[in-house]
Amino acid sequence: MRTLTTSRTVSAAASGTWTLGDLPVHRIGFGAMRLTGSAAFHEGVPSDRARSIAVLRRAVELGVNHIDTAAFYFSRLRSANELINTALAPYGDGLVIATKVGPARDASGAWAASARPDQLRGQVEENLRQLGRDHLDLVNLRLMGQESLSEHFGALADLRAAGLVRHLGLSNARPEHLAQARAVAPVVCVQNRYGLDAREGEAMLRACAELGIAFVPFFSIAGAGRESGAVRTERAEVLAVARAHGASAAQVRLAWTLAQGDHVLAIPGTGDPDHVADNVAAGGLRLTEDELRLLDAIPHS
């Protein structure tokens, strides 16, 4: 069973609201990575272009006002930013588009060395050009193993002061990175891998809660499948909770994620218009304390 309810359409507003800096967003959003390929954003066969555009428009129709993307989300035939521009421009008031900088890929899709601080402006401008905007709502510095980020974050802070970027965040970061970044400029969110059976991000989840910073987990549904999507046999505990609510396992995983704190924002991605509605509907699913305890007891990394 894939659908939480067949009697009504659930809006993203049912998930609640969080403010990214001064930008209010519903706690369930949309991640654009999977629009560019069926298996991963740099592999596989891209889904039909019209279908991808329909997915984005459907998400916004359902109240999604937080979309996560990046210029390095592209495949042989698709660019996530270009799809967003085509589907949603001119952008409606209240739509927040978050992007990422740091990693670099060449035209063939091969990964190159991460950007130096002096190259980050070019990456920001690339996102601006592809999205057709004069400023970016939120830019996350995606870390690729570096110990210190002060110089990189300082370069982004300069772009924020220049008006090209409104708010800053981090991705793939540790608590010590958050402290370094906050010494340079305000941080409104942290994006890390986190989910029901992938909880290595617990320390950052708690740190963000204490500081009033949004925690934005990725791969909440996919888990170990990461870019390739959910590839596991689903756990019996998840299926039991799903049956009790007439929901899907994916919806239960999203509901559990949102239950970890009011500061948690989910950004599930899909290339299927029907799955967009299912994912958004998960924002209206409320798990009981007993169900949360059952799911919390699942072994995890």
Residue type, 237: E
Selecting among 41, 73, 194, 218, the annotated active-site residue is: 73
CA 121 to mean position of chain CA atoms: 22
- The C-alpha torsion from 242 through 189 and 202 to 153, rounded to 10°, is 140
CA 72 to mean position of chain CA atoms: 14
The Cα 98–Cα 107 span in angstroms is: 23
CB 225 within 8 A of CB 250: no
Q: Which three-class secondary structure state does DSSP give residue 130?
A: helix
Residue type, 176: E
The Cα 72–Cα 2 span in angstroms is: 31
For 235, residues 6+ apart whose C-beta sits below 8 A from its C-beta are 197, 298
For 46, residues 6+ apart whose C-beta sits below 8 A from its C-beta are 35, 36, 37, 38, 52, 75, 76, 77, 78
Establish whether the linkage from the previous residue to 90 is cis, with ω within 30° of 0. Answer: yes
Q: What angle do CA 3, 270, 243 make, to 5 degrees?
A: 25
| Structure-token match 């403010």, residue found | 19
| Structure-token match 């706690």, residue found | 27
Answer yes or no: 91 catalytic.
no
The Cα 253–Cα 259 span in angstroms is: 10
CB 281 within 8 A of CB 10: yes
Q: Which residues does the annotation mark as catalytic?
A: 73
